[in-house]
């Protein structure tokens, strides 16, 4: 079976590596989309295990679609009666990129009509009730090649279920998980978020370190599909349960000057089942200090978008830079939309990556410390 996992712009490579780590064969990567092949069980596993994916879609068919007639006939040729029950509700979304067909509403309408025609002919009916389970269909046309897929995730995968409260400029869980992976942090080192807000970065780091699958406690739209039976979802969750490291000791600190934000962060850590893995502290970022070497700062500080907050954000960046230079061998990783972050931080980043935090164009600035010294055995 062919599948597509979606990702936020700039995170396609991170998602592709995640898929490989699951033992899946990765195919073509396009903007915000990574193709992979696997069984029906692998589709369930992808939903349960992936930390950086937005959705997992099952590819129903691919074909050239240089015009509307080709799109209609290509969709009608697919075996919809084997995929959708007669009463299925099948809303159609679409996206067109670099193609002759660029009217998304027209493409959606044609796909809808083609599916209804095929289903009606198979059922011997002139109309379909669409009163049953929802099967979200997507038409994606890229360079005149149409991909028709079925969403199996339902609620977007970033909604793990633990984050019930939101603060300003909060990171989506999938982006936070990607930043943890990009930071190259591992569970043997300290991790500190000095501007933790509602705690998403710290929670995602703890979940990742303890190998707690992000989808283990939530439901998925595909669980209602006969082609993905309950036994496969159960098997995927059992695999996730077997891999958990609930008692793994961690050194994760989440701090913030705002007591209300800290209260939300603690609540989210409890909901996620990692409250014992994270140390919460109310403190100013300028006070950041540690006697432990080779740790990681990973943070999403205020961006200073509003005029009145700009000077405060710039001062914070200066304080972060000063704190980082006081630490022994630490790395520092900061995501921000501020265009002059490096000048206020006081150093050019070793690596920069263009990302989006929701609609905001950001950069992820990475300052890598030295690798830990190895002890010489006598």
pLDDT digits (tens, 9 = 90+) for 274-317: 999 999 999 999 999 999 999 999 999 999 876 558 889 999 99
Q: What is the pLDDT of residue 372?
A: 77
Arithmetic mean of pLDDT, 53-68? 98
pLDDT band at 376 (very low <50, low <70, confident <90, very high): very low
Arithmetic mean of pLDDT, 93-106? 96
Residue 149 has pLDDT above 60, yes or no: yes
* Domains of the chain with bracketed CATH: 2-151 (3.30.2130.30), 173-215+222-367 (3.40.50.150)
Segment 314-355, tens digit of pLDDT: 999 999 999 999 998 999 999 999 999 999 999 999 999 999
Q: What is the pLDDT of residue 111?
A: 98
Distance CA 293, CA 144 (A): 54
pLDDT band at 377 (very low <50, low <70, confident <90, very high): low
Mean per-residue pLDDT over the chain, rounded: 95
Instruction: Report which of 31, 28, 131 is spatially closest to residue 88, judged by C-alpha positions.
Output: 131
Question: CA geometry: angle at 272 spanning 268 and 276, to 5°?
Answer: 90
Which residues on adjacent β-strands are paired with residue 302? none
Q: Which residues contact 199 (CB under 8 A, 6 or more apart)?
A: 254, 264, 265, 266, 268, 269, 278, 280
Instruction: Report which of 136, 140, 57 is spatially closest to residue 96, judged by C-alpha positions.
Output: 140
Q: Among the listed ranges 59-68, 124-133, 201-210, which one has the minimum average pLDDT value?
A: 124-133
Percent of the chain with pLDDT over 90: 92
Distance CA 327, CA 308 (A): 31
Using CB atoms within 10 A of its CB, is residue 67 exposed (0-12), middle (13-18) or buried (19+)?
exposed
Rg over CA atoms, the chain: 23
Q: What is the pLDDT of residue 166?
A: 83
| DSSP states along 143-183 | TTEEEEEEE--SS-TT--S------TTPPPHHHHHHHHHHT
Distance CA 126, CA 120 (A): 6
Q: What is the pLDDT of residue 374?
A: 66
Q: Is residue 47 helix, strand or coil?
A: helix
Reduced to 3 DSSP states, what percent helix, strand and coil does the chain have, rounded to the nearest 5?
35, 20, 40
Instruction: Assess contact for 255 and 281: CB atoms under 8 A.
Output: yes
Arithmetic mean of pLDDT, 71-78? 98
Q: What is the pLDDT of residue 373?
A: 72
Residue 238 has pLDDT above 60, yes or no: yes
Q: What is the pLDDT of residue 308?
A: 59
pLDDT band at 16 (very low <50, low <70, confident <90, very high): very high
Percent of the chain with pLDDT over 70: 98
Q: Which conformational region is residue 240 in: left (phi greater than 0), alpha (psi within -120 to 50 degrees), or beta?
A: alpha
């Amino acid at each position: 079976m062919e599948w597509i996992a979606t990702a936020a712009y700039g995170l396609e490579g991170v998602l592709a590596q995640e898929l490989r780590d699951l033992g899946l064969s990765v195919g073509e990567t396009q903007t915000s989309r990574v193709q992979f092949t696997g069984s029906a069980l692998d589709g369930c596993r992808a939903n349960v295990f992936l930390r950086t994916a937005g959705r997992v879609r099952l590819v129903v068919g691919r074909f050239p679609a240089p015009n509307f007639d080709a799109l209609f006939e290509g969709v009608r040729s697919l075996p919809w009666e084997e995929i959708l029950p007669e009463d299925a509700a099948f809303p159609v979304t679409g996206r067109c990129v670099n193609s002759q067909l660029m009217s998304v509403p027209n493409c959606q309408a044609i796909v809808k009509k083609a599916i209804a025609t095929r289903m009606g002919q198979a059922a011997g009916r002139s109309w379909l009730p669409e009163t049953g389970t929802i099967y979200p269909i997507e038409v994606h046309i890229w360079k005149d090649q149409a991909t028709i897929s079925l969403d199996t995730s339902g609620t977007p995968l970033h909604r793990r279920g633990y984050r019930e409260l939101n603060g300003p400029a909060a990171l989506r869980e999938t982006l936070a998980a990607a930043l943890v992976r990009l930071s190259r942090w591992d569970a043997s080192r300290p991790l500190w978020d000095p501007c933790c807000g509602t705690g998403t970065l710290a929670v995602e780091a703890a979940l990742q370190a303890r190998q707690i699958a992000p989808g283990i406690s939530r439901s998925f739209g595909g669980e209602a599909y006969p082609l993905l039976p309950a036994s496969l979802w159960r098997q995927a969750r059992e695999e996730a349960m077997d891999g958990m490291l609930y008692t793994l000791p961690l050194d994760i600190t989440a701090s913030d000057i705002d007591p209300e934000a800290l209260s939300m962060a603690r609540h989210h850590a409890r909901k996620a089942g990692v409250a014992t893995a994270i140390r919460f502290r109310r403190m100013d970022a300028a006070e950041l200090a540690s006697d432990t070497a080779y740790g990681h700062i990973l943070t999403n500080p205020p961006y200073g978008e509003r005029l009145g907050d700009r000077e405060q954000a710039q001062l914070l960046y200066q304080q972060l830079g000063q704190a980082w230079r006081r630490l022994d061998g630490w790395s520092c990783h900061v995501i921000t939309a501020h265009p002059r972050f490096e000048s206020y931080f006081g150093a050019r980043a070793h690596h920069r990556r263009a990302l989006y935090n929701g609609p905001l164009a950001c950069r992820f600035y990475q300052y890598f410390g030295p690798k830990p010294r190895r002890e010489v055995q006598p």
